[in-house]
Amino acid sequence: MTRPCSRNTQTTYANNPASARVLEKSSFVLEGRLKNNAFKDGKLLDSLLYAKTRDRIPFA
C-alpha cells in the first residue's frame, strides 16, 4: 500500500538568506531555528527548518 506524502521538510543554514528565499517561494513555511545544529568550516551554525504540509499548502 502506498501512502501519499503529507509532510516535506528542508533545512538551510541561517546565514544563507538566498536558500531560505527559494524555500519560501516554493511554499515552504519556516517552523523554527535549530541552534548550533550544523558544523561547517570549523564553526557551529544555526539551521532554519522549513516544512510544507498537505493540510496547510497543497502539494504540486
- Is 41 inside any structural domain? yes
- pLDDT at residue 54, rounded to an integer: 78
- 20 belongs to a structural domain: yes
Question: Which residues make Cβ contacts (< 8 Å) with residue 36, sequence separation at least 6?
Answer: 44, 45, 46
Higher per-residue confidence, 2 vs 42: 42
Residue 58 predicted with pLDDT over 60: no
- Quick: pLDDT tens for 8-19: 999 999 999 999
pLDDT tens digits, one per residue of 37-51: 999 999 999 999 999
Q: Is residue 46 part of a domain?
A: yes
CB 48 within 8 A of CB 30: yes
| pLDDT above 60: residue 34 | yes
Evaluate whether residue 2 is within a structural domain: no
In a domain, 25, yes or no: yes
User: Is 13 inside a domain boundary?
Assistant: yes
Whether 59 maps to a domain, the answer reads no
**Taking the model in full, what pTM does it have?**
0.81
With bands split at pLDDT 50, 70 and 90, how would you rate the model's confidence at 59?
A: low
Domain that residue 36 falls in: 7-53
DSSP-assigned letter for residue 57: S
Is residue 21, in this structure, part of any structural domain at all? yes
Task: Count the domains in the chain.
Answer: 1
